[in-house]
A and B are shown apart, each in its own frame.
Chain A
Amino acid sequence: MSDPTVRVAERVELLAAETDEGLQGLQPRSATSTDELGREVGAVLRMSDLTLDPNDVDYERHDDETMIINMGPAHPSTHGVLRLMIELDGEYVLRTKPVIGYLHTGMEKTGEVLSYIQGATNVTRMDYLSPIGNELGYSLAVEKLLAIEIPERATWIRMMMAELNRLSSHLVWIATNGMDLGSTSAMIYGFRERELILAFFEKTAGLRMNLNYVRPGGVAADLPDGWEDDILVICDTVYERTFEYDELLTGQPIFRGRMVGVAPITAEEALALSATGPLLRSTGVPWDLRRAMPYLAYDQVDFDVIVGTYGDNFDRYAIRLNEMRESIRIIRQCLERMPSGDYRSQDPKVTPPPRARIDESMEALIHHFKLFTEGFMVPPGEVYSAIESPRGELGCYLVADGGAKPYRLHVRGPSFVNLQSLPLLMRGGLLSDAIAVISSIDPVLGEVDR
């Protein structure tokens, strides 16, 4: 920054110039063609069989009747650095355009310079509310290429941790959603319960977030002594408290006013927009990868896939609340049926030897050295693995060229894709509902921008 006094005088123009995103932002109507306007007003839907009703598009409206306002990127209720440009007619939203990229840190590029072992540390930071999900998607992709068998205990530990993570992620959602709607108590409660789970994560993996716990070949550490009691406490407490949230929120008139019937989406639209997770299930499509294309041991546990009917905010809330109960059901089954055995693959090419072995075995030392300097080689190929993260389908497309680093690592972030439904959901709604709509999509901007 040059001379501060000059800067103050020119501040308005400077600020406008510095925050301008050019064509990425929402353009005024005078600069938008009719086609473009139709597309934006109808969100991105302009399919042949889903044609927009021309009466819906108000071509005649001029710029002086509407107003484009900017929300974010540092708005308290945009769940991170999401910037929305919203065209308003009074209190009603006409067009919305999310402007993203403020948290882009080039993680896919970084993934290409990290070895497969280090890769889990990278991907875990994408969706910071469900780190296990990211690691799991990545590890499954690597293991598919390596064609190695994972011990049964590792699979069940992974499944239990993934469900605990789904629980903690949905708890944060309850908390932030409550906060967005003015219920500060929901905020406190959600974070209070999440604390239990994070404490267990810390006990198991050593970290509360960004665990790097699930790794290619298994998990980083066995469950700690007495984990059964901890899990039991978590299950009992959170299960009981989901009914407290129910009591606090479900019947609450202010909450219902912002949720019931607000921002509906149909199954056809959700499918066309590639929406997954609670957003898709709220429309009544029973699509849950845990059930539809089982991975880990999800085909061996009992749980229900929760679906909605109307596709509105309230359905998405109800789905998440009930998914928490289903997750607890799965965790309880993991607790009962946790097999004994190894928690990681015993293939020395993939799994580092235990510390004690390094002192006594030359071979272990060599394996250790090779693994942490060079990493393991993955045979050439490409693979797409998908898991059901709390937000939807988390895909990992991995291209290996036979070296120790991924040639291309692409992560299909569910929030990134789900965010496309936002303009459609917002359209015609009230600006004050916008906050609830953003929250009901549950975007995590770390994953959107990667």
Chain B
Amino acid sequence: MIFHKELKEAMALIDRMLDALQKGIPTRGTSGVELRRVVGNFQAHEVELIESFTIGTELFKCFEQARLAGATFDSLDGVRVAMLAEQPVFNFGKAAKLVGLMFSFVEQCLLVSKMVFDSRTDVEVMLVRKNFIIETLKLEVSELLDGTDYQALTTLAAALVQHLAVTERKLPQIVNYDMPTVRSALSLSNYFYGNGSRFDELIKENKIIHPLFFTRDVHALSE
């Protein structure tokens, strides 16, 4: 039965999507329990949700709860990678794959909107990652989405790039210093910023083993 095959394919794909979504998220704590409850409820009533045309709404709730339960940018990337590996044959499965890609991107954008960046370099790294994701996504979804939905996706991509660009402008640059001698973290902090309290920031940025002995090539914020 072709309908049975189509239904089975879509449900299996969504199950794999939810498995990827739950990977790396702590299952303990109130939000973790709530995530398991939402996903369990979804899986138990999947057929009824399809029948009542509310499967999209409930699946989005799972993604929202995953974010609240502590999904990270990388764990959501896992969903995207899992969905890109899928090769559904039927339309329903194709739509499920596409929506999985969209939802993971939407949740990643919501995470980025609350991220705190320390330097321009951090934002640039994020921009490079996002550009790759956006290009892949556009290629995947352009055939399946209708005009308005595709426009919503491209507008989201534009809003994300704009947010990152504006965030980047406000941040200090990472500057490379070539010091003539080996110095300690406290001394460098005092030398760069006029006070010694930012030594831990320098240690973190340069991944120094012992704070007394900095390498001569120092990366530090310009202000």
Co-complex (A, B):
no
Name B residues whose Cβ lies closer than 8 Å to a Cβ of A. Answer: none
Name A residues whose Cβ lies closer than 8 Å to a Cβ of B. Answer: none
